[in-house]
Structure 1
């Protein structure tokens, strides 16, 4: 109910909660991803645009600072940037459709990486 209103402070509070969210360990991945999925629904209920890019950025910011997660974060950000660039190029030529990375695909990759680790 609190996030169902269009109050700016509620939006900032939700963004602050996401920015403060941290992945504790590999067993915590499903909880961690669900926090972001829940927040995305809250933003939608408030009719606030919360892009995949914003969600991916915040999701990756909360990863632990261990070598495995640092590498995952860098590779994901590079792939996400390349995907966004390819999408822009494809939309300007309108002849092909480029594969896109979404929050859902990044969350699935995060889950797979946790299983691998």
Structure 2
């Protein structure tokens, strides 16, 4: 008995999957907050009533890097979308998601090379 199922894991297929995923995320981000081209997430520790609480600061920016005017629900929805669509990312670190390129990059501050 033979099956006609093939698992194509070629680089071209992987690239097509990434483009498709990027398109889906970009459309959904635009529905959440029109004009969103970048989402920045930064985990922060906040002290409330002598207790440490972990929160995430989220910024929605347009293609020029200017903040998008959006309410708290939109910021929360954008973060939730990225967490669901990119589950393998280490969300305990700062990130920037570029909806134009579909790239998620680490956004942790670094020391300038000349100071090392």
Superposition TM-score tier, normalisation by shorter sequence: 0.3 to 0.5
Q: Which has the larger strand fraction?
A: 2
TM-score (norm 1): 0.33
Q: Looking at CA atoms only, which structure, 1 or 2, has the larger radius of gyration? A: 2
TM-score (norm 2): 0.33
Q: Which has the larger helix fraction?
A: 1
